[in-house]
Amino acid sequence: MRFLNRRRADHRPIDLNVIPLIDVVFFLLIFYVISTAFVQETAVTLQRPVSSAASPVGDGFVPVAIVKSGAIQVGPQVVDLAGVRDAVHAALDAGNTRKAVVIPDREVPTGLLLAVMDACSAAGAESVDVAATVGPR
């Protein structure tokens, strides 16, 4: 019985220091935020045209997607042909860039593609590229 009494008398509050745990979690959070790559992708599925001379495009551009039905998407916003210029101008200013990449579906009419490229140029894009899938040379 003496053993049980001794155990009860030894109840001291336990100090649990969580500050080092918070520091470690904070450093992990910073690491993941810094190492995350934010990629701009279109929300629609496209079959891009194939080109043997395609080259990679760097970062910092405004994506303009055109689906085969004729719908146009500037970033996350769906617009019609008349609203492309204003939407691209706003996206260029927000992204602090002067480059636009038109991502057409393989079956988009050439006239619509050229009209969208002209609207991007009129919006202030210094460089308007067309996205393609790299094909055989």
AA identity, residue 35: S
Average pLDDT estimate for 13-39? 83
Domains (range + CATH), the chain: 2-35 (no CATH), 50-134 (3.30.420)
Separation between Cα atoms, residue 41 and residue 7, nearest integer Å: 63
Tens-place pLDDT, residues 94-114: 888 889 999 888 888 889 999
Specify the residue for token string 């204003």.
Answer: 86
User: Residue 137: which pLDDT band, with cuts at 50, 70 and 90?
Assistant: low
Global pTM reads 0.60
Provide the phi-psi class of 49: left if phi over 0, else alpha when psi is between -120 and 50, else beta.
beta
